[in-house]
Structure 1
């Protein structure tokens, strides 16, 4: 009998993705999966409780690899929030493209509502933390409740935009998915233009000025 392999998390992910692509389905059980790839079943449970947890972890790993790649670029830390977001998108979708067959299988038909896919839960949490760290400037309200609403709205809208881009990429048939690159640039720039607080601040400043100007009010 062949000696069982000492397996790591990366091995489990690689083997699972290979199995799915070769068989067009998940393994029937952790037992059969471990037998096929010659490792102890108990070693699987050191990392994941079931296949669902593993599937969620794969998209989190895509995120982590993207961040690691970005942080290797010394100039990245000096980028504006907008440029950091663009860099994230381009790198993330380059990684998705390298694993497109698996991603298409995992997410299914592009007509599906991606918001309801459990597979993306860990990615959402990681991406929301990333949005927090971007330190995107929002309107100062000096009210804790309103600030929390603003931050939550920002993270939810950023997540929705990422899902929308994934859906676009799934449907994209252009060479090298060049249409997705164009979509990313336009979508990210538009979203940052929409949260640009300078015009709104100017309107508020004008309103305050006019309110204090008694001669105008009369």
Structure 2
């Protein structure tokens, strides 16, 4: 069978995520990965220098897809800035849940900590830009473990909050990550001082509904 003459970034991401999710390990090498999917290894290097770079692109794409999903909704456009951040959380973590085998393997393999992992660097940059765009006036993070960070900028504080949520999600064994939903609701509701329970329920429903409608049909 003739080798594929062209491979796209989307194909590489899909093949890689499928391999990791089903085998619970990375491909042995880029050459092996290329052989399995019938293309020449140099085609991989046209897009990425390593599997780690591919993993970075996957996390960035998960962010971009989550935000794009929300921005397609007329309702999301009417949300206030704090509500948009909360709605993004529910949408993004719904996205993670749909790819849980891959995400959990990669993050647990690297070992998630409060320090920014290099594999999350592009995600951190895009998330930070999103937070800057929202122009939040304050973000009160009420975790005693991160008191040294209380004077951090809004962008940095939001990233710390995000990492705490990501760590909680990784350890969550509840059905459909129900405890993570509660954690997001309670932690961000406090941090963002959201009081309107009806509005909060609408935000949760929108984020999760949009993602399920688009990706689980």
Across the two proteins, how many residue pairs are aligned to each other?
Answer: 183
CA RMSD of aligned residues (A): 2.2
**Aligned partners of 1:124 and 1:159 also within 8 Å:** yes
> 1:152 and 1:132, CA in 2 relative to 1: closer, same or farther beyond 3 A?
farther
**Aligned partners of 2:114 and 2:160 also within 8 Å:** no
Q: Secondary structure at the match of 1:67?
A: helix
**Aligned partners of 1:59 and 1:122 also within 8 Å:** yes
1:180 aligns with: 180
Note the residue ranges of structure 2 that are not aligned, 5 or more in a row: 139-149, 195-217
TM-score (norm 1): 0.77
> Bigger relative contact order, structure 1 or 2, given CA contacts below 8 A and separation 6+?
2
1:153 aligns with: 153
Q: Secondary structure at the match of 1:75?
A: helix
Note the residue ranges of structure 1 that are not aligned, 5 or more in a row: 139-149, 195-218
1:58 aligns with: 58
CA distance in 2, matches of 1:130, 1:22: 33
**Aligned partners of 1:17 and 1:102 also within 8 Å:** yes
Shift of 1:47: 1.4
Shift of 1:109: 6.7
1:40 aligns with: 40
Deviation track 1:61-80 (CA, whole Å, cap 9, x = no partner) reads: 11011011011001212211
Find out whether 1:135 has 2:132 as its counterpart.
no
1:122 aligns with: 122
CA distance in 1, matches of 2:110, 2:158: 19
2:101 aligns with: 101
Higher Cα radius of gyration: 1
> Where does structure 1 differ by over 4 angstroms across 4 or more consecutive aligned residues?
none
CA distance in 1, matches of 2:64, 2:124: 12
2:70 aligns with: 70
